[in-house]
A and B are shown apart, each in its own frame.
Chain A
C-alpha cells in the first residue's frame, strides 16, 4: 500500500532520522539515558527500564497487530537459533551490565553529554561490531546454525490467531506493571 513511500530512499533516510529523533527524545525523558537507572534495573533496584519496555511492548503489540489485521503493515520477525539468539544474548547481557547502556540508549546518552558513553562505550561497540564481522565466517559454520528455529512468531509456532496470544499476554503484562506499582517498585 505504501510501497512508493517505502522505496523512496532519500525520503526514508529523513523518516529514519525523524523516528530516531522522537525515540531519543522519549528515551531521555524516560531517564533511561542514565547508567544508574539501567544498572539499577539489572540489580532489581529500579524498575524504570522494565516499565518502559513492557508498556512499549503492550502498546506496540496491539497497535502493530491491529494495523496488520487492517492490511496496513507486514511483520518482520528476525531469524534465530539457540546458537545465535541465546548465546549472543548471553554475551550481550554481560556487556550490557559492564557498560551500563545499550546500543539505543548509548546514542541518547551521548546526546545528553555522557562522556563515558561517548569516549568509552561508543568506540567499544563499534570495535566489537567490527570484530564480529571478522568472526562471522567461522561462527556461521560452527555455532550459529545450532538449534535453528527460523524467523517464526509464537502464533505461527502454535498455529493460532495472533490475538489468542496477544489478549492474555498483554493482560498479564499490564498485571505485572500493576503489581510493580502496588509493591512500590
Chain B
C-alpha cells in the first residue's frame, strides 16, 4: 500500500476511476459536482475588495451570483494544491521548475517569456472559463458524466480550439 503512495506515476485508468468515484462522493456528501473555476472568480472579487470599496464590488451583478468569499469549491481548489504537493513530496517529484521542458525545447529556457505567456494564457483561460460557465473539471468531467448538453458542448469547444492553438504554437514552427 505504502509503495503505491510513493510511486511517481499511476496508470491513467486508475487515476480516472479514482476521479470518477470522487465525483460520486462529492454528489453524495456535498450535493455538488466537482468544479474549480468559480474559486478564481471569488478570489478575484476578494482581491478587488482590497483595492475598491467592498460594497461596490459586492454590488456587481457577477459577484452577487458568486459572492467573494471562501466556499466549498474554493476549499476544493486549495485541497487540490495540498494533495498534489503531498503526492509529489511522497514520490520525491517536488521541485521548483520555472520553464517546462517542451517549452524550453522550442522557445528557450529564459524565465521571462514563459512567465509572460503563462500570464496571458491564464487571463484568456480565466475569462473563457467564466464565459463558458465552467472548466475542464466542471464541464469536462462533471458536466459530461451528468450527460449535460452544456458539458459535452464545452468539452468539444475546449479541445477544438485548444488543439488548433497548440498546433499554431508548436506545429507550424516544426
Contacts and interface: CB of A to CB of B under 8 A. Distances in A.
Interface string A48-76: 10011111111111011001000011111
B171 A123 contact: no
Contact of B76 (A20, A54, A132): A20
B147 A52 contact: no
Contacts of A89: 128, 132, 139, 153-158, 161
B19 to A, nearest CB: 4
Given A17-B79, A20-B80, A88-B129, A120 B147 contact: no
Interface string B85-96: 111100101111
A88 B159 contact: no
A176 interface: no
B85 A129 contact: no
Interface residues of A, number: 124
B133 A78 contact: yes
Nearest to A86: B157
A63 B23 CA distance: 9
A110 B22 CA distance: 21
A151 interface: yes
A34 B93 CA distance: 11
Nearest to B74: A16
Contacts of A75: 146, 148
A98 B79 contact: no
Contact of A17 (B41, B78, B101, B125): B78
A53 B45 contact: no
Contact of A48 (B12, B21, B86, B150): B12
Interface of B: 7, 9-10, 12-13, 15-34, 36-37, 39-41, 43-45, 47-48, 60-63, 66, 70-88, 91, 93-103, 114-167, 169-171
Instruction: Give me the 4 closest cross-chain CB pairs, A-B, nearest first.
Output: A124-B122, A20-B79, A55-B16, A59-B20
Given A23-B83, A51-B16, A99-B118, 19 more contacts: A20-B82, A28-B93, A35-B102, A39-B169, A43-B171, A55-B20, A61-B20, A73-B27, A78-B134, A88-B128, A90-B161, A92-B154, A93-B128, A98-B121, A99-B117, A112-B87, A124-B122, A128-B124, A132-B126
6 contacts: A28-B93, A64-B27, A67-B24, A107-B77, A110-B81, A134-B62
